[in-house]
Amino acid sequence: KGQYMYDENGRRYLDCINNVAHVGHCHPDIVKAAHEQNQLLNTNSRYLHDNLVDYAARLSKTLPEKLCIFYFLNSGSEANDLALRLARQYTNHEDVVVLDHAYHGHLTSLIDISPYKFRNLEGQKEWVHVAPIPDTYRGLYREDHEDPVTAYADEVKNIIEHAHKRGRKIAAFFVESLPSVGGQIIPPAGYFQKVAEHVHKAGGVFIADEIQVGFGRVGKHFWAFQLQGEDFIPDIVTMGKPIGNGHPLACVATTKEIAEAFTATGVEYFNTFGGNPVSCAIGLAVLDVIEKEHLQACATEVGNFLMKLLKEQQIKHPIIGDVRGCGLFIGVDLVKDQEERTPATAEAEYLITRLKENYVLLSTDGPGRNVLKFKPPMCFNMEDANFVVETIDQILTVIACFLSRYGKRTSDPIENIYLFYLSRYFISTHPVLSKSQGS
């Protein structure tokens, strides 16, 4: 219910990571919309219906005018797969440029363009090109670089030029508007504009994956790509996860030109359950709740407050190397040392385990699995922010005490196991944390 999850014994957990339950778990308005529509019409009709038309019209009001064609599907993976098809049909090109450590879905076509996945499998396909994440904290070009925007965009330009020399042609630059699996990254403003210029010059299109980060989560804008500025508009936008608040619903928005090229193939696009009456009723209800409960404003206000609290912890705890984010999309980068910024992977894993024991659900992301990711339901409030940060503070205090007493972790897994169990004893005897745990 709301921003909380309950286990089989009725214990309540504060959910800080479930961006799927966008307006809150089991929101009564969403449940009501689904129930009422289920009683009126089945979920497989080949005919147009008011819900579908109304939902497309409502979505169009949130997007730039040129993104006026909508395809409805059931999952983010389906949406990204269709976006890839649209790009290739429109450009008659095959190759795709993606960011390192990106994840765009579980279908074979998407695993092929997800370094997060394919690096563990057979590797990179010839038609896939990987650009560095525009991370100004631990990336190739950092905050002290004179022009990281141009430097990162030039990496994409160089990739395109190298591909052309090999006879390859770029169909698309495919990117999450805010790389989430990559470590809750906030690309510097202007980066997308420069990349789009290079991609368009090569005959490709720009695809913005908003599946995890869109729908008002960033607060001041409805879509995360809008953080780049009013002068940037993608050619294709994909959305999923939060738009159905847990119900299978996804969408691809694109231009008339791209849609017409897709239709010209003569191969009709059809999705059995995509855009069905129940899904669209739920989608409309989600938009209503966002508006009625002022959840965008909430994301801004509570997100700013949470960022403030976390930055205060950054001053107190050297293990916090960076706090970054926008609205209720926040990453906390844990490091072993401030100078080298070595990922504190073991410490991050330990922290989220302890948080769960204290009834807070949080997770990690990033190449080093050391970035705490905050993507809570949008009803997350000030009290929740205070509670989770106070709990993090207590656990980090214990970690600091333990490391100062027993030394830092090593690369030896056996020694680390020993240190882990030693830490359990240390924590059980620590008055602050043992009290917070209730044991």
The per-residue pLDDT for range 327-373, each reduced to its tens digit, is 999 999 999 999 999 999 989 999 999 999 999 999 999 999 999 99
- Residue 438 binned pLDDT confidence (cut-offs 50, 70, 90): very low
Q: What is the pLDDT of residues 259-305, one digit of tens each?
A: 999 999 888 788 888 999 999 999 999 999 999 999 999 999 999 99
Return the C-alpha torsion angle 133, 138, 140, 144, nearest 10: 120
For 316-326, the pLDDT digits (tens) are 999 999 999 99
Taking 50 as the threshold, does the pLDDT of residue 439 lie above it?
A: no
Q: What percent of the chain lies above the pLDDT cut of 70?
A: 91
Query: What is the model's pLDDT at position 112?
Result: 93
The CATH number of domain 4-22+294-437, selected from 2.40.37.10, 3.90.1150.10, 3.40.605.10, 3.10.129.10:
3.90.1150.10
Please name which of 74, 63, 72, 75 lies closest in space to residue 255, comparing C-alpha atoms.
Answer: 63
Question: Does 28-291 match 4-22+294-437 at the fold level?
Answer: no
Per-residue HEC secondary structure of 322-373 comes to EEEEECCEEEEEEECCCCCCCECHHHHHHHHHHHHHCCEECEEECCCCCEEE
Beta bridge partners of 4: 14
pLDDT band of 436, cuts 50, 70, 90: very low
Average of per-residue pLDDT across 97-103: 96
Which of 40, 438, 46, 11 shows the shortest CA–CA distance to 270? 46
- CA 208 from centroid of its chain's CA atoms: 12
- Average pLDDT rounded to a whole number, residues 162-172: 97
pLDDT band at 426, cuts 50/70/90? Answer: low
| Selected residue with higher pLDDT from 268 and 64 | 64
> For residue 427, what pLDDT is reported?
55
Instruction: Using pLDDT thresholds of 50, 70 and 90, give the confidence band for residue 435.
Output: very low
- pLDDT confidence band for 118 (50 / 70 / 90): confident
φ and ψ at residue 12, rounded to 5 degrees = -100, 135
pLDDT band at 437 (very low <50, low <70, confident <90, very high): very low
> What residue spans define the domains of the chain?
4-22+294-437, 28-291
Average pLDDT over residues 97-122: 91
DSSP E strands: which ranges in 38-169? 69-73, 95-99, 128-131
| Cα–Cα dist 244/37, whole Å | 14
Whole-number mean pLDDT of the chain? 91
Per-residue model confidence (pLDDT) at position 98 = 98
Query: Does residue 160 have a pLDDT over 80?
Result: yes
3-state secondary structure of 419: helix
Do 76 and 241 meet the contact criterion of CB atoms below 8 Å apart? yes
Residue predicted with more confidence, 39 or 436: 39
Question: According to DSSP H, which parts of 223-344 are helical?
Answer: 256-263, 277-292, 295-316
Domain 28-291 in CATH 1.10.10.10? The answer is: no
- Look at 206-210, 351-355, 400-404, 417-421 and tell me which has the smallest mean pLDDT: 417-421
For 393-416, what is the mean pLDDT?
69
- Joined tokens for residue 106: 């579980």
Q: What is the DSSP string of 393-405?
A: HHHHHHHHHHHHH
Rg (CA), the chain: 23
